[in-house]
């Protein structure tokens, strides 16, 4: 069976669902990794992409209280917070000055019960006005759905308004796991997987590129993972709008779903199989915040070709016990990539090369 999968990969034939399931159940971690690295090098040569970015989470107040989330708060909670646009701009200024420059800002937030849609448009406009060269990657499909409701616009109208206010691309969050039964347990209030895919499809049709994610290592089975990957692959065939796929390794601390951290082997396998199965998505990103820096580095030889950026001050995963640092320096990222024998490539939001290091 493995040799058949190997053959398919070499001749460029697509893996079936059964192939992917076989790989998830297989113990052949080193062979899977080798194959995934072969594919990764075929697509991205020896390059590993990263971006100098900052995460901003304007509020942790959220009307959804997903069971896997340790970040969200209700209005009135003592540690609930809200950022004004001025605070966001000041934060960006401060970081741009201390780091030298920032290429992208990643904005995701709780679903605030009172903020007006206008506030988000103003936020984007103000950022673009102050920092025209910073790419804005903002709002998951879950937030888009919420905005369309509070503003009473269609998804298309909502996205168009955000786009003209300065939205460049969208992150891939909120996908979690598409399977309705599992989703109903871990995040019953969140939009369905089907709705997530519809919104992303609309974004792609309007020329907004997005990422895709999958949260794994909680209650889902391997079948659920493969189904999830398949839905992403199908949508990508249709739209070509996904830039990168980011498997998210579950962080159980401070959440309501008490399971173990996924094992290092499971993380590597999931990354490698994603690379092998998602033959139409150009980049697989190692989200070091959840994997830890060390596993993330290793994953660059197991199918990942992209590292989450320098990330100044990550909050969401760290609320759930992420054991990584809150940010990595440029030097650390470059050294991580060079040690695996690959070429560090600083990119912009659209994967244009900013600099070869």
Partner 1 sequence: MVRVSKKEAVEMLKELSIYELAQRADEIRQKLHPQGIVTFVVDRNINYTNICINKCKFCAFWRPKEHPEAYIISKDELAQKIEETLALGGTQILLQGGVHPDLALDFYIDMLKFIKSSFNIHVHGFSPPEISFLAKKEGITVKEVLQRLKCAGLDSIPGGGAEILSDRVRRIQSPNKINSAEWLNVMREAHKLGMRTSATMMFGSIEAEEDIIEHLDAIRELQDETGGFTAFIPWSFQPLNTELKKENPELQPAGSVKYLRVLSLSRIYLDNFKNIQVSWVTQGIKIAQVGLRFGANDFGSTMLEENVVRSAGVSYRVTMNEIIEAIKSVGFKPAQRDTYYNILKFF
Q: Which residues bind partner 1 (CB under 8 A)?
A: 27, 29-31, 33-34, 37, 260-261, 263-268, 291-292, 294-295, 297-298, 301, 323, 331-332, 335-336, 339-340
User: What residues contact residue 132 under an 8 Å CB cut-off, 6+ apart?
Assistant: none
User: C-beta of 248: minimal distance to partner 1 in Å?
Assistant: 14
Give the CB-side neighbour count of residue 233, counting CA atoms within 13 A: 19
Per the listing, tokens 């340790």 go with 70
User: C-beta of 158: minimal distance to partner 1 in Å?
Assistant: 39
- For strand 135-138 and strand 104-107, is the pairing parallel, antiparallel, or unpaired? parallel
Q: Which is nearer to partner 1, 146 or 261 (CB)?
A: 261
User: C-beta of 228: minimal distance to partner 1 in Å?
Assistant: 21
Q: Which is nearer to partner 1, 192 or 335 (CB)?
A: 335
Q: Which is nearer to partner 1, 197 or 268 (CB)?
A: 268
User: C-beta of 135: minimal distance to partner 1 in Å?
Assistant: 28
User: C-beta of 323: minimal distance to partner 1 in Å?
Assistant: 7
User: C-beta of 31: minimal distance to partner 1 in Å?
Assistant: 7
User: What residues contact residue 128 under an 8 Å CB cut-off, 6+ apart?
Assistant: 136, 165, 166
User: C-beta of 301: minimal distance to partner 1 in Å?
Assistant: 6
User: C-beta of 291: minimal distance to partner 1 in Å?
Assistant: 7
Q: Which is nearer to partner 1, 91 or 325 (CB)?
A: 325
3-state SS, one letter per residue, for 46-89: CEEEECCEEEECCECECCCCCCCCCCCECCCCCCCCECCHHHHH
Q: Which is nearer to partner 1, 51 or 291 (CB)?
A: 291
User: C-beta of 305: minimal distance to partner 1 in Å?
Assistant: 15
| Residue 90: Cβ within 10 Å count | 12
User: C-beta of 321: minimal distance to partner 1 in Å?
Assistant: 12
Q: Which is nearer to partner 1, 170 or 271 (CB)?
A: 271
Q: Which is nearer to partner 1, 265 or 353 (CB)?
A: 265
Q: Which is nearer to partner 1, 31 or 64 (CB)?
A: 31
The single-letter DSSP state of residue 312 is B
- For strand 242-249 and strand 283-286, is the pairing parallel, antiparallel, or unpaired? parallel
CB 179 within 8 A of CB 220: yes
Q: Which is nearer to partner 1, 208 or 268 (CB)?
A: 268
Q: What CA–CA distance (Å, rounded) separates 200 from 140?
A: 9
Q: What CA–CA distance (Å, rounded) separates 234 from 259?
A: 31
Q: Which is nearer to partner 1, 1 or 265 (CB)?
A: 265
Q: What CA–CA distance (Å, rounded) separates 89 from 112?
A: 19
């Amino acid at each position: 069976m493995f040799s058949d999968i190997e053959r398919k990969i070499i001749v460029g034939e697509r893996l079936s669902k059964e192939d992917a399931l076989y790989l998830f159940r297989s113990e052949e971690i080193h062979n899977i990794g080798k194959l995934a690295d072969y594919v990764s090098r075929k697509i991205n040569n020896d390059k590993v992409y990263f971006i100098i970015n900052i995460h901003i989470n304007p509020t942790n107040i959220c009307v959804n209280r997903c069971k896997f989330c340790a970040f969200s708060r209700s209005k009135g909670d003592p540690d609930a917070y809200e950022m004004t646009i001025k605070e966001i701009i000041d934060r960006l200024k401060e970081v741009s000055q201390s780091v030298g420059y920032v290429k992208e800002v990643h904005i995701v937030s709780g679903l605030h019960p009172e903020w007006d849609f206008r506030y988000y448009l103003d936020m984007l406009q103000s950022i673009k006005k102050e920092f025209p060269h910073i790419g804005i990657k903002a709002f998951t499909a879950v937030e888009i759905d919420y905005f369309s409701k509070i503003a009473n616009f269609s998804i298309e109208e909502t996205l168009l308004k955000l786009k003209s206010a300065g939205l460049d691309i969208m992150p891939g969050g909120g996908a979690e796991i598409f399977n309705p039964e599992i989703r109903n347990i871990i995040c019953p209030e969140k939009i369905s997987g089907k709705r997530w895919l519809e919104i992303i499809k609309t974004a792609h049709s309007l020329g907004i590129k997005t990422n895709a994610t999958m949260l794994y290592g909680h209650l889902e089975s391997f079948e659920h993972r493969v189904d999830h990957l398949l839905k992403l692959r199908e949508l990508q065939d249709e739209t070509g709008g996904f830039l990168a796929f980011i498997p998210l390794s579950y962080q159980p601390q401070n959440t309501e779903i008490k399971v173990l951290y996924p094992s290092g082997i499971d993380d590597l396998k999931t990354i490698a199989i994603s690379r092998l199965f998602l033959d139409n998505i150009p980049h697989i990103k190692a989200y070091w915040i959840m994997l830890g820096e060390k596993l993330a580095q290793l994953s660059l030889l197991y199918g990942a070709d992209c590292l989450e950026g320098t990330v100044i001050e990550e909050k969401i995963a760290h609320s759930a016990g992420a054991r990584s640092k809150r940010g990595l320096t440029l030097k650390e990222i470059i050294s991580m990539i060079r040690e695996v024998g690959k070429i560090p490539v600083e990119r912009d939001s659209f994967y244009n090369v900013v600099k070869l290091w």
